[in-house]
Chains A and B, each alone.
Chain A
Amino acid sequence: MIMLFKKFLAFLKRRAVFTVLTLGFIGGIVFWGGFNTAMEATNTEQFCIGCHEMESTVYQEYRNTIHYQNRTGVRASCPDCHVPKAWGPKMVRKIQASNELFHKALGSINTPEKFEEKRMYLAKREWKRMKKTDSVECRNCHEFGSMDYTLQSRRAAPQHMTGFDEGKTCIDCHKGIAHQMPDTSSLTDEERKEFNLQ
């Protein structure tokens, strides 16, 4: 038995390059697969509402909307709108999310009152982010090039046509569709213009 093991070691020594490559290949699969599995685990609705900050506020509001429940049962859950699909931007967003862990530890929004106080600040951040990416998360499903205006309602069709002509992006008009709108009465005129609000 020991002889057999020694023979095997000698074989490995003779073929060092082969050994390194094989081990590297297997190790790579295990590591990369594990990394992606862990990454996807943090990209689920269940993970997002694991914290009460999300579960008792924004999740409850989202449950009343069309992206949670609708006729055909197609859903857009938290990461579908809040995490980019492409690998690079997703990594960037995931690294930025460490800031959210920091604020979880600080308890920045751990009561409904604190959350309500920060609602405008948080909403503005998300509006700016979506504006910057040309609402890329929306367009994963709602591509305006594929919209048939003749099937849209008499209000929606002209709004979409003029909106896209003016270079607007989804979030410019579609605010507060999954979560409640913050109180906009305190916004300045410049901010109103920036966020396309009355």
Chain B
Amino acid sequence: MKITSKKTVLSSVLIGLGLLVSSVYVAETPIPNSTAQKSDIEFNGVKSLRGETAIPDADKSASIKRLQPDIEPIARNYFQQPPMIPHRIREYKITLQYNKCMTCHSWDAYKKAKATKVSQTHFTDRDGNAQSTLAARRYFCTQCHAPQVDAEPLVENAFAPVHELEKK
């Protein structure tokens, strides 16, 4: 009992110290407002994604991008990149009971549906055991594969695909 109370005292002292330090820090940090200058918003040269919009102001909402109609398969940019989805997937539900993607991308169906078949790697569980059905860790397709919109990159990017992939 005595030990516990000692611990309690110690921890409350620590929490108190923490609060004190953080409140001092907050007080010293300049809080930008709507009339703040540009320099107030930049912290050590780092600008937030909100740009020069001050914290109390409403940010401009991004325009809603519409998914494109079906297109040809999209070339990959780097090795082992999960292929991107070149079609709309609204209403293609992936639930515990049923995986809609597999109606076309399964090994049974891909030829008739003229779809890309699901990779063999998706049948191996995390311990390396081969399975007859999709491994649980690969079951939810949209964890890695995503449909694409025609959007400009948010930041400049000079990335170029490796030569092998570029040749196609």
Binding site for B on A (CB under 8 A): 65-66, 119, 153-156, 158-159, 176-177, 180-185, 197-198
- Asked whether A182 lies within 8 Å of B91 as measured between CB atoms, the reply is no
Q: 1/0 contact trace for B86-114 toward A, CB 8 Å? A: 01101101011110101100101100011
Q: What are some 27 contacts across the A-B interface (CB < 8 A)?
A: A65-B91, A66-B90, A66-B91, A153-B69, A153-B87, A153-B88, A154-B70, A155-B70, A155-B87, A176-B93, A176-B98, A176-B100, A180-B93, A180-B95, A181-B93, A181-B97, A181-B98, A183-B96, A183-B97, A183-B98, A184-B97, A185-B133, A197-B103, A198-B103, A198-B106, A198-B108, A198-B109
- Asked whether A184 lies within 8 Å of B98 as measured between CB atoms, the reply is yes
Alpha-carbon separation in the docked complex, A185 to B113 (Å) = 21
- Asked whether A182 lies within 8 Å of B87 as measured between CB atoms, the reply is no
Alpha-carbon separation in the docked complex, A119 to B108 (Å) = 25
Which of B71, B95, B108 lies at the interface centre, i.e. has the most chain A CB atoms within 10 A of its CB?
Answer: B95
**B residues near A158, Cβ cutoff 8 Å:** 114
Instruction: Say whether chain A's binding surface is mostly helix, strand, loop, or mixed.
Output: loop
Alpha-carbon separation in the docked complex, A180 to B71 (Å) = 27
- Asked whether B97 lies within 8 Å of A182 as measured between CB atoms, the reply is yes
**B residues near A153, Cβ cutoff 8 Å:** 69-70, 87-88
Alpha-carbon separation in the docked complex, A181 to B92 (Å) = 10
Q: Nearest B residue to A66 by beta-carbon distance? A: B91
Alpha-carbon separation in the docked complex, A10 to B114 (Å) = 84
**A residues near B69, Cβ cutoff 8 Å:** 153
The number of A-B residue pairs with CB atoms under 8 Å apart is 43
Instruction: Say whether chain B's binding surface is mostly helix, strand, loop, or mixed.
Output: loop
- Asked whether B91 lies within 8 Å of A177 as measured between CB atoms, the reply is yes
Candidates A154, A155, A181; contact of B95 at CB < 8 Å: A181
Q: Nearest B residue to A192 by beta-carbon distance? A: B108
**B residues near A185, Cβ cutoff 8 Å:** 133
Quote the shortest CB–CB distance from A116 to chain B (angstroms): 9
**B residues near A197, Cβ cutoff 8 Å:** 103
**A residues near B95, Cβ cutoff 8 Å:** 180-181
- Asked whether B100 lies within 8 Å of A181 as measured between CB atoms, the reply is yes
Alpha-carbon separation in the docked complex, A119 to B96 (Å) = 13
Quote the shortest CB–CB distance from A117 to chain B (angstroms): 12
**A residues near B100, Cβ cutoff 8 Å:** 176, 181
Alpha-carbon separation in the docked complex, A59 to B51 (Å) = 43
Alpha-carbon separation in the docked complex, A43 to B114 (Å) = 41
Candidates A66, A156, A177, A180; contact of B97 at CB < 8 Å: A180
Which of B87, B103, B109 lies at the interface centre, i.e. has the most chain A CB atoms within 10 A of its CB?
Answer: B103
**A residues near B98, Cβ cutoff 8 Å:** 176, 180-184
Alpha-carbon separation in the docked complex, A181 to B133 (Å) = 18
Interface residues of B in 22-67 (CB under 8 A from A): none
Apart from A182-B98, A198-B103, A198-B106, 15 more pairs, CB < 8 Å: A65-B91, A66-B90, A119-B97, A154-B70, A154-B71, A156-B70, A176-B93, A176-B98, A176-B100, A181-B95, A181-B100, A182-B97, A184-B97, A197-B103, A198-B102
Alpha-carbon separation in the docked complex, A156 to B113 (Å) = 10
